[in-house]
Amino acid sequence: MPASRIAAHIQRIKTSPNSAAAELISELRAQGRPIINLVVGEPDFPTPAHVCQAAVAAIGRGETRYTQTAGTPALRQAIAAKLSRENGLNIPAQQVVVTCGAKHALFNALAVTLEPGDEVLIPAPYWVSYPDMVLACEGEPVILPTDESSGFKITAQALEAAITPRTRWLILNSPSNPTGATYDAQALQAIAGVLADHPQVMVLTDDIYEHIRFDGSDNPHILALAPQLAERVLVVNGVSKTYAMTGWRIGYAAGPRDLIGAMDMLQSQSTSGVCSISQAAALAALEGDQSEVLEHARIYEQRRDATLALINAIPGLQCRAPGGAFYLFVNCSGALGRVTPQGKRLQTDIDLTLYFLETVGVALAAGTGFGCSPYFRMTTATDMETLREGCGKIAEALALLR
């Protein structure tokens, strides 16, 4: 009998650090400890009322049966219309598949395209799940480091140097989780220029934070700028962040017909179609009033500005202003090497975030999990009172170090 019943490629992956942190926070709260949770990556706003009403109406109409695996025709058409209206992309509804969240779309795209040993280029800092998704699909994640001097963005030169004959995907996430980095049209055109010479490389765009952009910046899409890449770009998005619908689990992918067909087929043998009521709600979100989307982005920007000032006023911490999303990616190198009141020297960002949690009850995500240290990620998707209290406690904990 083998040493483990678990497949080797599954043994290569690990539990999401964010999921593990959420479980630890729940355990501490169950013990009666007050915890300020600055880990969670979801909007704190309620789902818009008209979206909830559409779900109730769908139940009333009896829309509680299976849908087509790829999604209802109405929702797929609404997604195609949204991509045309907001992103300048001409992708027909037949080349759209609705998934159980954007995470599901990302995983399925990798699952239907990767052979053992195929490489996926992932700029770091990255969303924690990208490398493990690649490993779970028997591919090889190839990490492209970035830094603050580049705004945490890859350059065309770095991309060119990383591509090999085994490269199958480049993942682009703009605005980025965790850094909030955003790519402008010039940067995307330079990336497209490199890709033009490497026809084996496809582009997976994770656009989940597209509507949370600051400072009046626009929202260019690489496919709109380089339509010649149409057969090599898969667009992934969803309603979770834009419409405060994380629990409704609606994402989607749009792109080349063969990729969408394969993802539809895989889904037919795994999850089948997405919840019919959630699809009705997503339809209302995409086709309804968008004023709350703009208002939420304005509030996120205000929170960014206020929290950035609080963090940068704390000795030992510094943070650049993110261009989008709802996180701060804080450089904590100035706080490391110091000793806690209990006599422990803080060597890593993991040490530091555990110290904050244990000492003052502030939960943060260590940058190590995002492929970049020494940093920590804190969400700004919570009210200003909580953010002020959290920053105050962080400052209090750092003041105890020697």
- Give the pLDDT score at 32: 83
Residue 239, domain member (yes or no): yes
CATH code (residue 183):
3.40.640.10
Looking at the structure, do residues 36 and 107 belong to the same domain, yes or no? no
Terminus-to-terminus CA distance in the chain, angstroms?
54
Looking at the structure, do residues 136 and 215 belong to the same domain, yes or no? yes
pTM reported for the whole predicted model: 0.95
- Give the pLDDT score at 2: 59
Question: Among residues 329, 300, 288, which one has the least CA distance to residue 312?
Answer: 329
Looking at the structure, do residues 276 and 297 belong to the same domain, yes or no? no
CATH code (residue 326):
3.90.1150.10
The tally of domains found in the chain comes to 2
Residue 3, domain member (yes or no): no
Looking at the structure, do residues 17 and 153 belong to the same domain, yes or no? no
Residue 18, domain member (yes or no): yes
Domain boundary among 263, 287, 311: 287
Looking at the structure, do residues 179 and 269 belong to the same domain, yes or no? yes
Looking at the structure, do residues 124 and 175 belong to the same domain, yes or no? yes
Residue 265, domain member (yes or no): yes
Residue 1, domain member (yes or no): no
Residue 2, domain member (yes or no): no
Looking at the structure, do residues 14 and 108 belong to the same domain, yes or no? no
- Give the pLDDT score at 216: 86
Domain boundary among 235, 268, 287: 287
Q: Which pLDDT tens digits describe the chain residue by residue (402 residues)?
A: 557 899 888 898 887 776 777 777 888 788 888 899 999 889 999 999 999 999 999 999 999 999 999 999 999 999 999 999 999 999 999 999 999 999 999 999 999 999 999 999 999 999 999 999 999 999 999 999 999 999 999 999 999 999 999 999 999 999 999 999 999 999 999 999 999 999 999 999 999 999 999 988 888 999 999 999 999 999 999 999 999 999 999 999 999 999 999 999 999 999 999 999 999 999 999 999 999 999 999 999 999 999 999 999 999 999 999 999 999 999 999 999 999 999 999 999 999 999 999 999 999 999 999 999 999 999 999 999 999 999 999 999 999 999
- Average pLDDT over the chain, rounded to whole? 96
* Dist. CA 288–CA 283, nearest whole Å: 8
Looking at the structure, do residues 303 and 347 belong to the same domain, yes or no? yes
Looking at the structure, do residues 165 and 201 belong to the same domain, yes or no? yes
Looking at the structure, do residues 37 and 113 belong to the same domain, yes or no? no
Looking at the structure, do residues 101 and 196 belong to the same domain, yes or no? yes
Domain boundary among 287, 308, 332: 287
Residue 87, domain member (yes or no): yes
pLDDT digits (tens, 9 = 90+) for 345-380: 999 999 999 999 999 999 999 999 999 999 999 999
Question: What is the extent of the structural domain holding 215?
Answer: 49-287
- Give the pLDDT score at 231: 97
Residue 257, domain member (yes or no): yes
Looking at the structure, do residues 122 and 242 belong to the same domain, yes or no? yes
